[in-house]
A and B are shown apart, each in its own frame.
Chain A
Amino acid sequence: MSDLKSRLPDEVKHILGRMVDASGRERLLISLGSFVLALVAGALLLLVSGAFASCESPVFGLGGLQFCYNPIEVYSVMLNGAVGSPYSLGLTLRETTLLILAGVAVAVTFQAGIFNIGTQGQFIFGGLAGAAVVHYTADLLPANVVGGGGLFALGMMAAALIGALYGALPGILLAYYDANEVITTIMLNFIATAVAFTIVRSFLREGAAVQTTLIPDYATPPAIIFPSASSFSILILVPTLLIAVGAHYLLNNSPLGYNIRVSGEQPTAAEYSGVDSKQVIVRTFTLSGVIGGLAGGVFVFMVLGYWQPSVPQVGFDGITVSVLAANNPLGVIPAAALFGILQSGSVALDLQLGVPRQLAGVLRGIIILFVAMPEFMRMIGRRLGLGESSATSAVTGTEANDD
């Protein structure tokens, strides 16, 4: 890193330092500014690709060029598609709920300095566990609200438990067998996908398709305020928000949280202060697995209504959400909301304007990239020890470091 610092031009260092020093208000302004810039860049992209695309009715022509997409229309459709109706707002919040859970699951491990890629695997197994509970116990419980509540509670508990176990596994491998967590978690994701497929095909299959029993309506979280077509229940969002707040509280108000943060910041200091690093690793992974498993449970009970092998990549999106939130569980909430908005917005683009999904994806990428970049640069600047507050320490630090 210090090599990088010495090779950076001074103008760049100055800007990075200035970013590190930015006040809260400035950071907000910077974020808004980059959002606006992202829209402008996206608009240019839409114009250019619109000029090359072929469409039946160009929106406008200019000097012999035909433009297929009108950026303003595209943005308004996106906005409408994301929050324009109770239905689309429901879709957005549904995505947001899943991403909050996945994001928090990733964030707690990243806080401990563990690069856990395994949330997807816990998401898969958590969902499958929920579906399996329905498969085996639905007939044993009364087919009414009480029985449904019991079914839901059992299913979510199973999701959490299986998530915890499947999360603890790479933790144990890392703590006691020194197996790199990036590699083990990626491998465990593949294993989860394949094993889940086999289990469903062999034991839980219902009919011809490889998918599980439908979850009865009375066990599905009720759709209040939002139409049931959006498969979203505010009764799930509220506890989800509590989980994010709870994770934040845990990090700041419990010895385990403190140990997680010390381990992430400075493993040598953790060791010095009597932290059992193996224990912290396993517990952090387990905690992350519980939340990842719950995300799977929510997906099965609230969103899909059954389990089938091709589940969305919620666990991987959780990584991006967490990084965008600087691994702060509270920051995960707005980050997940941004993702949710962009996701349902781009679905609407495809449906209403015929803008290809790929282009919508690029548009989404541009916005996320622009919004994330200032904070990312701040992180780099801080790592390099730039900025006024650390400039003092850079000065005194060199004097202090002379042993």
Chain B
Amino acid sequence: MTHSVELTDIRKTFPGVVANDDVSLSVNKGEVHVILGENGAGKSTLMNILYGLYQPDGGTIRIDGEEKEFESPQDAINEGIGMIHQHFKLVGPMTITENIILGSEPKKSLGMSVDMETARREVKELSERYGFDINPEDAVEDVSVGVRQRVEILRALYRGADILILDEPTAVLTPDEIESLFVVFDELIEQGKTIIFITHKLDEVMSVADDISVLRDGKRITTIPAEEATNNRLAELMVGDEVLLELDRDPHPKGEELLRVDDLQIEGDDATLVDDVTLSVREGEVLGIAGVDGNGQTVLSDAIAGLIELDDGSVTFDGEDATEWGRNRLNDAGLSYIPPDRQEQGLVMNFDHGENVILGEQHTFPIGRRMRDDELAEEIVAEYDVKTSGVETSVKSLSGGNQQKLLVGRELERDPKLVIASNPTRGLDVGSIEFIHEQLLSARRNDRGVLLISSKLDELQQLSDRIAVIYEGEIIDTVDPETVTERELGLLMAGQELVTEETDSVSNENTLQAKRIEDENK
């Protein structure tokens, strides 16, 4: 059988990095081929080569058995390859139809004007053929992310793509939208298209893949059929050694109260953002805060860290009233903050490592001292396993996982008494997630306090001693991670109280326990 795509010994290097190390890969026609790998494993580079965005340093590309050379995406498009990038390349104010035909418009009047009649008809036919539920006259800026992705797919199909490359298409989608994307996959396969699907999320691989290729450190480790794959095996292949999916969290004696927040209130322009929140963290304790994004947890963490003024309530840090302290003084007193957005807040992208490791400490520098600390940067790079080509390169060139390791390293190397970690593993690969979890637990072992804000339930359950659930700015319950079920957490996060059901004694017990913990807190 001829392979739809055949890559042989593809090699691509960037300064200091081998992104693709003689990668060979065959994709069967009419199948979904998943390319799986950690951040920085070289997945996107490989696909950008196939799409003509990069030229390989070596190796060959065959499409339907014929050797090709792509100097630009246009060459790849001409060979029936379409790529859907993670960040959509659409023009917001233009309609869906206009976006789809952009760059390959049907012409009339001797090529002088766009034949919108034909365009509309063709787009309509196309979307009906694949069962896409879209209105071609909607402006792209008015439709949801899921629909925009379909517009991208339609655009590729409109240009005659037979092979569709999707770069982490699920990253921006809600669970429902992911489901319907996979339905679209089925439709496309039925019509004889070939799909190459890049991801690092294990759970979605199994449901759609025919074949799975695993990339690690720029090399293809193996290709296996989906039916032979298990989550554990794939995770192992991705990271290179056995993944400890279960973390070791020994019971640890709690010490003095480090942080106490009483009746904290933050008002927004037209709504209360944080409503009467009371919580406390002790030495050697991890307090988890669970909640769907946008329920006030970021405002809460910013307020505790001293970035926003409180409208009401008080913050006590290490026995002292710290309500009016502000960020710098809290930092000096030993409160570190891993912010939710590493690329916007936590790191300055165009600064190098040496400059970034003093961010947050700059007020302690005397005038005349160089505003950087290369020694500290070297130390963090070594200790936190940051893969970089040098501390004098801008952190923009690091992969997301390595950026986060640098950031976490910086905040923990200050030897804080308490660290607020807001979604510290968001968007990271398995290896980096584990590493960061291990660091947070080791802070706990050293009698540090941790306030962990996360939207990942498994993370919260694995790390926390207690989990407080925030909903619309209020802490509506505090539960024990050992006994609470994901379903119960889900209910709480949706704003529903845990009700005692007579038929369900287990849940009953949990609720009681949760209540007890809550009482303890008061």
A residues in contact (CB < 8 Å) with B: 2-3, 6, 10-11, 252-255, 257-259, 261-262, 265-266, 268-269, 271-275, 388-393, 395-403
Digit string of B293-319 for contact with A (CB within 8 Å is 1, else 0)? Answer: 000000000000011000000000000
**CB < 8 Å: which of B339, B363, B365, B400 contacts A399?**
B400
CB distance from A108 to the nearest CB of B (A): 15
Task: Give Cα distance in the complex from A278 to B338, angstroms.
Answer: 24
B431 smallest CB distance to A (angstroms): 13
Cβ contact of B427, chosen from A272, A388, A402, cutoff 8 A: A402
In the complex where A10-B74, A252-B371, A388-B14 touch, is A269 in contact with B331 (Cβ < 8 A)?
no
Give the CA-CA distance A207 to B421 in the complex, in Å: 72
Most chain A beta-carbon neighbours within 10 Å: one of B306, B331, B359, B360: B359
Contact with A along B359-391 (1 / 0, CB 8 A): 110110101111100000000000000000000
9-residue interface stretch from B125-133, B181-189, B346-354, B444-452: B346-354
Cβ B363 vs Cβ A274 within 8 A: yes
23 A/B residue pairs, CB under 8 Å, sorted by A? A6-B89, A10-B73, A254-B367, A255-B363, A258-B355, A259-B362, A262-B348, A265-B350, A266-B348, A268-B345, A272-B360, A274-B306, A390-B396, A390-B397, A391-B14, A393-B396, A393-B397, A395-B48, A396-B39, A396-B400, A397-B400, A399-B44, A402-B86
Chain B contacts for A257, CB-based, 8 A: 371
In the assembly, what is the distance between CA of A257 and CA of B367, in Å? 9
Contact B363 A3 (CB under 8 A): no
Whether B89 lies near A272 (C-beta < 8 A) is: no
Known A-B contacts A252-B370, A272-B339; the reply to A258 vs B365 at CB < 8 A is yes
Is A269 within 8 A of B87, CB to CB?
A: no
Contacts of A269 in B (CB 8 A): 344-348, 359
B19's partner among A262, A266, A390, A395 (CB-CB below 8 A) is: A395
**In the complex, what's the smallest C-beta–C-beta distance from A330 to chain B, in angstroms?**
16
How many Å lie between the Cα of A400 and that of B343 in the bound state? 10
B359 touches A400 (CB 8 A): no
A398-B44 in contact (CB<8A): yes
> Cβ of A400 and Cβ of B341 under 8 Å apart?
no
Please, which residues of chain A bring their CB within 8 A of the CB of B399? 396-397, 399-400
Contact B167 A398 (CB under 8 A): yes
Contact among A6, A255, A266, A393 with B362 in the assembled complex (CB-CB below 8 Å): A255
Q: Are A391 and B54 in contact (CB under 8 A)?
A: yes
Q: A353 → chain B, closest Cβ, in Å? A: 47
Assess whether B328 is in contact with A274, with CB atoms less than 8 Å apart: yes
- For B200, the chain A residues whose CB sits under 8 A away are 399
Interface residues of B toward A: which range?
35 or more
**In the complex, are the beta carbons of B351 and A265 less than 8 A apart?**
yes
What residue in chain A is nearest B48 (Cβ atoms)?
A395
Q: Is B426 located at the chain interface by the 8 A CB criterion?
A: yes
13 further A-B contacts with Cβ under 8 Å, apart from A271-B307, A272-B360, are A254-B367, A268-B345, A273-B359, A389-B393, A391-B14, A391-B54, A395-B44, A396-B400, A398-B44, A399-B40, A399-B44, A401-B343, A401-B400
In this complex, what residue of A is CB-closest to B38? A399
Interface of A is mostly: helix
Contacts of B167 in A (CB 8 A): 398
Q: Give Cα A265–Cα B368 distance, bound, in whole angstroms.
A: 22
Contact partner of A396 among B355, B359, B398, CB < 8 A? B398
* B43 interfacial contact with A, CB 8 Å: yes
Beta-carbon contacts of B147-183 to A below 8 Å, as 1s and 0s?
0000000000000000000011001100000000000
Residue of B with least CB distance to A258 = B371
Where chain B touches its partner, the secondary structure class is loop
Q: Please count the residue pairs between chain A and chain B whose beta carbons lie under 8 angstroms apart in the complex.
A: 148
Contacts of B14 in A (CB 8 A): 388-389, 391-392
Give the CA-CA distance A11 to B337 in the complex, in Å. 44
Neighbouring A residues of B327 by C-beta, 8 Å: 272-274
* Contact B360 A253, beta carbon cutoff 8 Å: no
Nearest residue (CB) in B for A254 is B367
Please name the residue on chain B nearest to A382 by beta carbon. Answer: B350
* Min CB gap B123→A, angstroms: 19
Chain B residues, Cβ within 8 Å of A10: 71-74
Cβ of B15 within 8 Å of any chain A Cβ, yes or no, is: yes
B45 CB, min distance to chain A CBs, angstroms: 5
CA distance A84 to B104 in the complex (A): 59
Given contacts A262-B348, A389-B14, A392-B19, contact A400 B401 (CB under 8 A): yes
What is the bound-complex CA distance between A3 and B103, given in angstroms?
Answer: 13
Contacts of B426 in A (CB 8 A): 403
Q: Determine the residue in chain A with the shortest Cβ distance to B347.
A: A269
Tell me which residues across on chain B come within 8 A of A259, comparing CB atoms.
362
* Distance in angstroms between the alpha carbons of A3 and B360 in the assembled complex: 34
Chain A contacts for B85, CB-based, 8 A: 398
Known: A255-B365, A403-B426. A2 touches B359 (CB 8 A): no
Chain B residue nearest in CB terms to A249: B368
What is the CA–CA distance of A268 and B328 in the complex, to the nearest angstrom? 16
In the assembly, what is the distance between CA of A393 and CA of B393, in Å? 12
CB distance from B383 to the nearest CB of A (A): 21
How long is the Cα–Cα vector from A133 to B42 in the complex, in angstroms? Answer: 68
A156 to chain B, nearest CB (A): 23
Residues of A within 8 A of B73 (CB): 10
- B168–A402 touching, CB < 8 Å: yes
Task: Report the nearest A residue to B198, measured CB to CB.
Answer: A399
Complex contact B397–A389 (CB within 8 A): yes
A10–B358 Cα distance when bound, in Å, is 39
Closest CB-CB distance, B307 to chain A, in whole Å?
Answer: 7
Q: Which residue of chain A has its CB nearest to the CB of B39?
A: A399
Chain A, Cβ-Cβ closest to B332: A274
Residue of A nearest to B331 (CB): A274
Nearest Cβ on chain A to B407's Cβ, whole angstroms: 11
Contacts of B400 in A (CB 8 A): 396-397, 399-402
Which residue on A lies nearest to B363, using beta carbons? A255
B464 within 8 A of A: no
Residue of A3, A275, A390, A391 contacting most chain B CB atoms (<10 Å): A391
CB neighbours (8 Å) of A258 from chain B are 355, 358, 362, 365, 371
- Using Cβ atoms and an 8 Å threshold, which residues of chain B touch A275? 362
Residue from the set A2, A252, A258, A388 with the largest chain B CB neighbour count within 10 Å: A258
Task: Tell whether, in the assembled complex, residue B171 and residue A403 are in contact, meaning their CB atoms are under 8 Å apart.
Answer: yes
Q: How far is the CA of A389 from the CA of B398 in the complex (A)?
A: 10
Instruction: Give complex CA distance A11, B48 in Å.
Output: 16
> In the complex, what residues of A have CB within 8 A of residue B17's CB?
392
In the complex, the answer to whether A274 meets B89 with C-beta atoms within 8 Å is no
Return the contact of B367 from the options A253, A397, A399 (Cβ within 8 A). Answer: A253
Please give the distance in Å from A176's CB to the nearest CB on chain B: 16
Contact of B86 among A3, A265, A271, A401 (CB under 8 A): A401
* C-alpha gap A393/B14 in the complex (Å): 10
